[in-house]
Amino acid sequence: MSPAAVTHLVRCPSCGSTNRVADEKMKSGMAPVCARCRTPLIGSPGSGHPITITDSNFASEVQKSSIPVLLDFWAGWCGPCRMIAPIVEELAGELDGKVKVGKLDVDDNQVTASQFGVRSIPTLLVFNGGREVGRIVGVQSKASILLKLKPFIQ
């Protein structure tokens, strides 16, 4: 992998470790597995699952994204966040390739959460061309979220 290669950080659903997944491997059809426990990784680009967004990869994954981004600001202790999580998961599958869907844990990534003034969770931000173009606060229906995304989906 060359130094300029694009990589994504993907958290293992089984052991929780963070893995670097090269974009070129994803595009070639390879299915990534966790380096620690060998569990297939969900949340890889093109997997139909949300990707893990952090303070360190926010610029490359969101601001420089060539497609619109739906970013879920959440926390593990938040009941409403757990309520909306299945909807975010469904949207990641349905909009794969049209919209990048990501999740940002506000407890672990306070810089980005504070940069966008996220005061309550869940908060879903819509980005297009690297700029925030929509904000959804609280638990919303799938239809309501899709309505907010519709102007940016081609």
Catalytic residue set? 78, 81
Could you give the CA distance from residue 22 to residue 132 in angstroms, rounded to a whole number? 26
Q: Is the dihedral of CA 18, 9, 98, 28 positive or negative?
A: negative
Tell me how far apart the alpha carbons of residues 77 and 81 are, in angstroms, rounded to a whole number: 8
Q: Where are the alpha helices (DSSP H) in the chain?
A: 23-27, 58, 79-94, 110-115, 142-149
Q: Is residue 22 a contact partner of residue 66, using CB atoms and an 8 Å limit?
A: no
Amino acid found at 70: L
The pair of structure tokens assigned to 48 is 């139909």
Residue 121 contacts residue 73 (beta carbons within 8 Å): yes
